[in-house]
Amino acid sequence: MTENDIYQKQSFGAGLEKGTKPALIVVDFVNGFIDPEVFGGGNCLEAAEASVPVVAAFRQAGLPVVFTRVIYAEDGSDAGVWCEKVPRLKELTETNPMSQVVDFLAPEPGDVIIRKRQASAFFDTPLSAILRSKGVDSVVIVGATTSGCVRATVVDAMSHDFRPTVIADCVGDRALGPHEANLFDMKQKYANIIVAKDVGQILP
C-alpha cells in the first residue's frame, strides 16, 4: 500500500466544505523569510510573488486580510525557549528591516496585523477573536515557511474550528523536502489544498 492508500483507508484526506466567509492569512512574508541569508531561500520568493493576485482578490471581494510578523522586544525581555532553539529569531524586532512585510505585499489600512512570538498566528494572539468579530468561518493561508509557521497556523486554524485552505504555490520553504512533506500532512489531516489560479472557487 502507498502512504496515500494507508491514509485513505483510515478516512483521512476528506474534502472540507466551503466556508461562507473566508479571511486570508499571509504568514510571515517578511524580508527575513525571503532572504536565504536569514530564514528564507528555497521557493519562498516565488510563493510570495504568487500571493500578490490572491491578496488582490480578497481585497476586491471586501474580505479580511491578515498579515503576521514574528516580533520580539528589542531588550530580549520576552524571548523564550524558541529563541534558544533558533537563536536568530531574537533579531526579529519591531524595527528590523528583516521583520517588515515585503514591499510588494505591503499591508493597507484596514488589514489586520498580528505580532507573534511563536510559530502559529493564533497562539497567544487575538487572531481568533478578531476573525470572529468579523464573522469569518474559514481561512485561506499563504506564507512562509510551509514546514514552520504555515503548518502551525493551519493546525491551530483547524483546532479553532475555522475551515483551512492552503494555496500550495503560495507557501514556500527554505528546503523542498520539508515543504512537500508538510503539504502532504496538511492535505491528509488539516486543510484543503488548492492552487492560486483557483482562488476564485473559495470566494463567496
> What's the min distance (Å) between Cβ of 161 and a copy of itself?
4
Beta-carbon contacts of residue 188 (< 8 Å; ≥ 6 apart): 7, 12, 13
Beta carbon nearer to a copy of itself, 75 or 103: 75
Q: Is 119 exposed, middle or buried (0-12, 13-18, 19+ CB in 10 A)?
A: buried
Phi-psi category of residue 42: left, alpha or beta, with phi > 0 → left and psi -120 to 50 → alpha = left
Give CA angle at 71 (141, 101), nearest 5°: 50
Residue of 134, 177, 188, 200 whose CA lies nearest to 8: 188
Give CA angle at 198 (193, 202), nearest 5°: 75
204 in contact with a copy of itself (CB under 8 A): no
- Measure Cα distances from 22 to 143, 147, 176 in Å: 16, 23, 28
Residues 32-51 that bind a copy of itself (CB under 8 A): 38-39, 41-42
80 in contact with a copy of itself (CB under 8 A): yes
Beta carbon nearer to a copy of itself, 132 or 197: 132
Tell me the number of residues near a copy of itself by CB under 8 A. 70
Instruction: Tell me the per-residue interface mask from 94 to 133 with a copy of itself, x by CB under 8 A, - otherwise.
Output: ---------------xxxxx---xxxx--xxxx-xxx-xx
User: Site residues (CB under 8 A) for a copy of itself?
Assistant: 3, 6-7, 10-14, 16-17, 38-39, 41-42, 73, 75, 77-82, 84-88, 109-113, 117-120, 123-126, 128-130, 132-133, 135, 137, 147-148, 151-152, 155-156, 158-163, 174-175, 177-178, 181-182, 184-185, 189-191
